[in-house]
Chains A and B, each alone.
Chain A
């Protein structure tokens, strides 16, 4: 039986990490809510974010945490042509065509990463990242706390954007009933494009944070996507604050699973939980989630 310090530290680390997981899943969730699109390239967007953070550090020497707005703008900007030229033309062809297109984008991105950046595992190394932070019996790496704080901030900003602005009103209308929203004068295509860009920007920030907390490689996209999907079904589709809750729950359970069953079982816990929720409560634990 491990001592109380290890147990409490593990759970604390899981919860903090869960905040970051919530942010990595946020983009997937709002795109699903507004566009009814399971963005199968979402994991690769996160990997793009991680590489962007890494190269931003290497070329500018500026700390990637300070460069996060740049990464967000970059990802958001890159995603607009993706929406405009690949997704928008398929809008009236049903959800499958768009999903398959993003699947193709995903395999293209992954193989471009391998060709351009090699298959090496990398990490965004910062001295302070592994600096241990101790509070009573709890010890966690500093980067977890930084990542958690940034993630919660971004999620709250997005929540404010969605619940209290004119854009958010259009977004919620489009998510509830795109046709009715269009009849009432909402430019649904524009809303979808901005939602897609917002989702990609969040993925950029989340990807950099994940890249700073862990190692990543060109093929990390698949596991990232699956973890994000688990968070989304836990928190409810399109539910912004739900993503945070889902992330924290998943992070804590993964840590507990890793501690009791062995480290290899961390992701097993996530996937099993995901399938169980899908089977028994497909609308998520926070039902009636509104965007």
Chain B
């Protein structure tokens, strides 16, 4: 398929999805809006994670660093300065990007596995700091002074964040940038020989993912109305997002969407058994890593193309 046609199709699909979902609050009840809100948040985070892991080879366990940072920035700036919500979310994104720039010299010295371990330690460090520093409410956390907006409004904010994330990923994937990303992921040294600057490329992916994650954390905090360090900086964020992308398919465009839908629906089905839900996600992870390294999307694509090939062969020449 022509690259430009593919790009247009993707943009069209995104625009249509946006307009259809924008009117979701007019036709459904709170349950579906809650679910939709959660999927939008997770889709944003999963897109960022997928960009880092699938395109730049950065496997992160530090999702909560940026979710938590966004949450605290959002509550502090709403309480302290009464800024309008859209501006607050932009501010969250900027803060997330800045934190990523700030920690990147340390984290990027660590190739491969050590990057993963470094992000894990960073999220733990931030959580411990938040627990201990009383300026940010300590272990009890912070409360939003105003009432949070109604659910339909929140859903539309989350939808905008998710669509912005999807659009950014589309731009990355459909332009020259994607080739550069892949070169760095597959062989950093060879890419450097060819004139690509791996540090900048990785930093770009990290900053974009972090900014998106912080914005998602901001809107999540506004919805909760009260935040505390154990939840907002908890490892659970990383577990959820990583499971989604691996289950959906790492490095594949539809991976985050399918994975987010799958994990959220699995969570709904096992809502009464939270421990069983997480353990089940772990089991699914093990099975998929072993037998379907490209997740559900990769498996489906493989199976479909096999069927297609077979049906083609059956046609008499």
Partners in one complex: yes
Q: Which residues of A contact B (CB under 8 A)?
A: 36, 38, 86, 89-90, 93, 95-97, 99-101, 103-108, 110-112, 114-115, 222-223, 226, 229-230, 262, 264-265, 267-268, 271-272, 274-276, 278-279, 282
Q: Which 3 A-B pairs have the closest CB atoms?
A: A279-B106, A108-B282, A104-B285
Question: Which residues of chain B come closer than 8 Å to A115, judged between CB atoms?
Answer: 275-276, 279
CA gap between A175 and B229 in the complex, in Å: 40
- Asked if B279 contacts A112 (CB within 8 A), the reply is yes
Whether B132 pairs with A271 at a CB distance below 8 angstroms is no
B286 x A111 contact (CB < 8 A): no
Report Cα–Cα, A196/B61, bound state, in Å. Answer: 23
- For A38, the chain B residues whose CB sits under 8 A away are 113-114, 116-117
The 0/1 profile, CB within 8 Å of A marked 1, for residues 267-278 of chain B is 000000001101
Report whether A222 and B124 are in contact in the complex, using a CB–CB cutoff of 8 Å: yes
Q: Is B86 an interface residue (CB 8 A)?
A: no
Contacts of B128 in A (CB 8 A): 264-265, 267-268, 271
Interface SS of chain A:
helix
Let me know if B293 is at the binding interface, CB within 8 A: yes
**Shortest Cβ distance from residue B89 to the other chain A in the assembled complex, whole angstroms:** 29
CB distance from B286 to the nearest CB of A (A): 5
Q: Could you tell me the dominant secondary structure of chain B's interface residues?
A: helix
| Additional A-B contacts beyond A103-B242, A112-B279, A223-B124 (10; CB < 8 A) | A95-B112, A95-B113, A101-B285, A104-B283, A105-B286, A226-B124, A229-B120, A268-B128, A275-B122, A276-B106
Q: Which residues of A contact B120 (CB under 8 A)?
A: 226, 229
Give residues 133-187 of B contacting A (CB, 8 Å).
Answer: none
When distances are taken between beta carbons in the complex, the residues of chain B under 8 Å from A97 are: 289, 293
The reply to whether B239 and A107 form a contact with Cβ atoms under 8 Å apart is yes
- B12 lies within 8 A of chain A by Cβ: no
Tally A-B pairs: CB < 8 A: 109
Whether B266 sits at the interface, judged by CB under 8 Å, is no
Q: Is A108 in contact with B289, judged by CB distance below 8 angstroms?
A: no
Q: CA A132 – CA B239 in complex, angstroms?
A: 42
Q: Contact: B114 with A226, CB < 8 Å?
A: no
Q: Mark B115-134, 1 if CB is under 8 A from A, else 0.
A: 01110111011001101100
Given contacts A103-B242, A111-B275, contact A271 B121 (CB under 8 A): yes
B192 within 8 A of A: no
Q: Which residues of A contact B282 (CB under 8 A)?
A: 104-108, 111
CB-nearest residue of chain A to B246: A100
Q: Once the chains are docked, how many angstroms separate the CA of A223 from the CA of B125?
A: 11
Q: A279 contacts which of B105, B132, B246, B286 (Cβ < 8 Å)?
A: B105
24 example contacts (A-B, Cβ-Cβ < 8 A) are as follows A36-B113, A100-B242, A100-B246, A100-B285, A104-B283, A104-B286, A104-B289, A107-B279, A107-B282, A111-B275, A111-B276, A223-B124, A226-B124, A229-B117, A264-B131, A268-B125, A268-B128, A268-B129, A272-B125, A275-B122, A275-B125, A278-B117, A282-B109, A282-B114
Closest Cβ of chain B: how far from A271's Cβ, in Å? 4
Q: With A and B bound together, what is the CA distance between A99 and B60 in angstroms?
A: 12
B124-A271 in contact (CB<8A) = yes
Chain B 184-215 per-residue mask, 1 if CB under 8 angstroms from chain A, else 0? 00000000000000000000000000000000
Give residues 228-253 of B contacting A (CB, 8 Å): 235, 239, 242, 246
B4 at the interface (CB under 8 A from A): no
The reply to whether the CB of B11 lies closer than 8 angstroms to some CB of chain A is no
Least CB distance, A113 to chain B, in whole angstroms: 9
Whether B281 is near chain A, meaning CB under 8 Å from some CB there, is: yes
Q: How far is the CB of A276 from chain B (nearest CB, A)?
A: 8
- Min C-beta distance of B53 to chain A, whole Å: 9
Q: Which residue of B lies closest to A219 (CB)?
A: B235
* Complex contacts, B285 vs chain A, CB 8 Å: 100-101, 103-104
Q: Does B226 contact A (CB under 8 A)?
A: no
Q: How far is the CA of A265 from the CA of B120 in the complex (A)?
A: 18
**Chain B 90-124 interface residues, beta-carbon cutoff 8 Å to A:** 105-106, 109-110, 112-114, 116-118, 120-122, 124
Q: Which of B113, B132, B286, B293 contacts A268 (CB 8 A)?
A: B132
Question: In the complex, A106→B131 CA distance in Å?
Answer: 24
Q: Is B290 an interface residue (CB 8 A)?
A: yes
Q: Which residues of B contact A274 (CB under 8 A)?
A: 121
Chain B contacts of A230 at CB under 8 A? 121
B222 at the interface (CB under 8 A from A): no
Contact B283 A90, beta carbon cutoff 8 Å:
no
A99 with B106: in contact, given A104-B286, A107-B282, A271-B124 (CB under 8 Å)? no
